[in-house]
Chains A and B, each alone.
Chain A
Amino acid sequence: MVPVDYYIALSALLFVLGALGVLIRRNPLIVFMSVELMLNAANLAFVAFSSVFKTFNGQIFVFFVIAVAAAEVAVGLALIVEIFKSRKNINIDELNSLKG
């Protein structure tokens, strides 16, 4: 039997790694992938708790998250493609014209 804490720890670790990816990578595609990783980490926690409390609510929530993530990826990637088309570059460090 695996204590739920282990799953939570794994979830947290994956989440932090995803966040780290968002922070340190300059490629928007990889940033996106890191966001997906963070969502996965959250989903893992949901499912773990769903298993602990013997209910399907958590799983249904994960289902919704997956749907939203798919929508997000579709729009996000479309945006990236559009940015690339206009600037011939997708380095997010160069997308800094909105500054004070």
Chain B
Amino acid sequence: MQLSETVSSGFFFLAPWLVFAPLTGLLINLIFSKQFKFSENTVGTIASLASGAAFVISALLAYSVSAGHGEAVSVPFAQWIHIGTLQLDWTFRVDSLSTTMMLVVSGVGTLIHVYAIGYMHEDVRFKHEEGRFNRFFIFLNLFIAAMMILVSGDSYMMLFVGWEGVGLCSFLLIGFWFEMDTLARPSWANSNAAKKAFITNRVGDFGFLLAGFLMFWHLGSFQFDAVFKAAPAIAESAPWVIVAITLFMLVGVAGKSAQIPLYIWLPDAMAGPTPVSALIHAATMVTAGVYLVTRSAPLFSLVPQAQYIVAMVGAGTALFAATIAVGQYDIKKVLAYSTISQLGFMVAAVGMGAYVAGMFHLMTHAFFKALLFLSAGSVILGLERGHHAHAHHAAHDDSKSKKKKEGKHALSKVEGKKEEEHGHDDHGEVRRVEPVETFDPGDMRNMGGLRKTMPVTFWLYMIGTLALAGIFPFAGFWSKDEILLDASLHFPSVYGQLVLAAFLTAFYMGRQVWMVFFGEARTDAAKHAQESPKVMTVPLMVLAALSILGGALNLPFEGFHNLTHWLGHTLGEVEGLPLDLKVAGISTVLALTAILVSWLIYGRNPLKAGQIDPLKKPLGFIFTGMENKWFVDEGYFALIINPFKQVSQFLADVIDWRFWHDFVHETVILGTYNWLSGVALNEYADQKGIDAFANWLGDATQWLSANMRKVQNGFVRSYALSVMLGVVLILGYLILK
């Protein structure tokens, strides 16, 4: 854990390019794409290359670290804040932990970039906003850059910069279609989702900041090594400080990694385009919290009680989110709650001190959840294609009005120029209104039978599902098993929750697969769904391969604890645990049982169009609760938001408007001012005082001069008399003096 100064050797000098490679791509697309009219492929290629460059650099850095026997290297880059004893620099920290994160972020990120070329190509067309293609990739690159700052930071403050940066990108990308009436949602839903994500994250960031302040106050630094060095002494003298720091940090983790009670933003964040959901809200950004806890392992290790709370929060989230996932109909919402649940697994793992297991699950989860999300995106686009193709087809023999909108081009050829012009006008005016469709391509009830129409996507999805469900030998099995094994050894209650969550995971994934891919198509769109192009499926295949083989990173056999050993350079060597057949067996059996149960419910009798969920009847209000996310949002509204609004309303109406405005400002201040200026100052002081005095002065002067000029009468003798009078008076004065 000591820093080496050998920056000169290896590829460490490349570290700043982790950030600047994506930034370069971003700037190229930002500045030149309009001017040189980049095609979509050019934009996508530049962005992907920028992200890919970051991946290559990450790989080189990882190689350099391993060549240096895991020594952590810090690469100073720029001075940032130097105030008093505070010496904050922008320094890149390259060690096994950060390079692992870099590889995951840039690797998965690059694949998603490539996928997004194909996805966004169609997405912007379905939404009739083709100019926005470029913007999407700018945001994506910005995200990669911010994420790199986060994982490569050498201090908590640098980490916080990236933390906020990815929050910003999350906000921008969730609200990517901020004004669009899409997916049967009103236009404000997307922007509201973005704001919700941002504001909820603010709550978490507040906790992070408090942790940072405490850290600086008591430990005197933000720099990781300095903090960890100072921490044990403080833990001896004032343990509550470390507890407070770690718990405040937990608040930040809960915000960013979507844990109870701040997870509520993540499901809504699915409003963003699907690549965003995959990249930011499944694979990378949301794992920042896990990374933070792992990075702070020396702090958390000092306070077992805080660790326990972290573990409980994680386990609780894992179970809670899994129950909600069971009751969801939106394909992405199911995955979103699944993500929350899996993040719960990771947080529980790092909370228990099983940092390697947490990181392992983080990696495998990044693979298979990205795969699932992207496949879901493929499904959604397939459905959109089917919907449009079907609508187009139907337009020829269906309603006229639909013809005008959907089949404009076909129509214009038939009906001539006039109609075309009209069509153009129509297009310009109602473009925003046009996508309003009751059809929701993300609703699983609109799917069914996609196995036949989208075979590639189906198989990829199956791989992701099995990996997530934890079926041997997919990646998820190994990583989840490691967490469960750790839990079973030390935290039985956590273990119980996690096992139940794992069971539910397999169940809702089974439910999803049966609903989406099996049975009969429930809508015309599903019937006419089309497979996605290669640019989308190839990255998926890479991810699928990783989902299958990812477990090989850390097999629970002697000599195969690669990740444990690798991360051990940073986190301290730990013994890799051997495979516990009992734990593995239980979880496998449970997963298989869950899939079987889901087949019994959803697979054997496929859902018909318009049929309500078969679980609704037997489970009753429980399912209603799952369906409605246990009314947590409503609870927040009732407990926090509505009271807050009422207080705001009260403050605005009564305190501000009626008291401050009406009473204090209008009545007291304005009234006083009016009285003062109108009556007191104007009438009395000015008119009757100053004016009157000035007038009097003028009158007096006039009167005096009118009388004085009588003295100047032209008679020499009377002048002489005046002189005489003067003489007499002066003499009299001299005498009387």
Q: Point out residues on A near B: beta carbons under 8 Å.
A: 19, 22-24, 26, 92-93, 95-100
Contact = CB atoms under 8 A, between A and B. Distances in A.
A36 to B, nearest CB: 15
Contacts of A19: 724
Interface residues of B, number: 13
A100 to B, nearest CB: 3
A98 B714 contact: yes
Interface in B682-724: 708-717, 720-721, 724
30 contacts: A22-B717, A22-B720, A23-B717, A23-B721, A23-B724, A24-B717, A26-B717, A92-B715, A92-B716, A92-B717, A93-B715, A93-B717, A95-B714, A95-B716, A96-B713, A96-B714, A96-B715, A96-B716, A98-B714, A99-B709, A99-B712, A99-B713, A99-B714, A99-B715, A100-B708, A100-B709, A100-B710, A100-B711, A100-B712, A100-B713
Given A23-B724, A93-B717, A95-B716, 17 more contacts: A22-B717, A22-B720, A23-B717, A23-B720, A23-B721, A26-B717, A92-B717, A96-B714, A96-B715, A96-B716, A97-B714, A99-B709, A99-B715, A100-B708, A100-B709, A100-B711, A100-B713
A77 B721 CA distance: 22
Nearest to B717: A23
A19 B721 CA distance: 9
* For the complex of A and B, 7 pairs with smallest distance between CB atoms: A96-B714, A99-B714, A100-B712, A100-B709, A96-B715, A99-B713, A22-B720
A26 B711 CA distance: 18
Contacts of A92: 715-717
Contacts of B717: 22-24, 26, 92-93
Interface string B60-89: 000000000000000000000000000000
Nearest to A20: B724
Contacts of A97: 714
A37 B721 CA distance: 17
Nearest to A99: B714
B621 to A, nearest CB: 111
Nearest to A25: B717
Contacts of B713: 96, 99-100
A26 B716 CA distance: 10
A7 B720 CA distance: 26
Contacts of A100: 708-713
A21 B132 CA distance: 114
Interface string B540-583: 00000000000000000000000000000000000000000000
A19 B717 CA distance: 11
B705 to A, nearest CB: 9
Contacts of B715: 92-93, 96, 99
Interface centre among B709, B710, B712, B715 (most CB of A within 10 A): B715
Contacts of B708: 100
Nearest to B712: A100
Nearest to B708: A100
A99 to B, nearest CB: 3
A96 B719 CA distance: 11
A28 to B, nearest CB: 9
B700 to A, nearest CB: 18
B543 to A, nearest CB: 112
Contacts of B710: 100
B209 to A, nearest CB: 86
Contacts of B724: 19, 23
Interface string B217-239: 00000000000000000000000
A42 to B, nearest CB: 13
B718 to A, nearest CB: 9
Contacts of B711: 100
Contacts of A99: 709, 712-715
Nearest to A93: B715
Nearest to A16: B724
A22 B715 CA distance: 12
Contacts of A98: 714
A92 B724 CA distance: 18
Contacts of B721: 23
Nearest to A34: B720
A30 B715 CA distance: 16
Contacts of B709: 99-100
Contacts of B720: 22-23
A47 to B, nearest CB: 23
A51 to B, nearest CB: 25
B528 to A, nearest CB: 114
Contacts of A96: 713-716
B725 to A, nearest CB: 10
A99 B709 CA distance: 8
A24 B720 CA distance: 10
B731 to A, nearest CB: 11
Contacts of A22: 717, 720
A55 to B, nearest CB: 26
A99 B724 CA distance: 19
A97 B709 CA distance: 13
B71 to A, nearest CB: 109
Nearest to A95: B716
A23 B709 CA distance: 20
A32 B713 CA distance: 21
B702 to A, nearest CB: 14
A95 B721 CA distance: 16
A23 B716 CA distance: 9
B714 to A, nearest CB: 3
A22 B724 CA distance: 10
B290 to A, nearest CB: 104
Interface string B720-736: 11001000000000000
A39 to B, nearest CB: 15
A100 B709 CA distance: 5
Nearest to B705: A100
B712 to A, nearest CB: 3
B708 to A, nearest CB: 8
Contacts of A23: 717, 720-721, 724
A26 B720 CA distance: 12
Nearest to B710: A100
Interface in B602-629: none
A97 B715 CA distance: 9
B217 to A, nearest CB: 88
B720 to A, nearest CB: 5
Nearest to B727: A19
Contacts of B712: 99-100
A77 B533 CA distance: 133
B221 to A, nearest CB: 92
Nearest to B711: A100
Contacts of B716: 92, 95-96
Contacts of A93: 715, 717
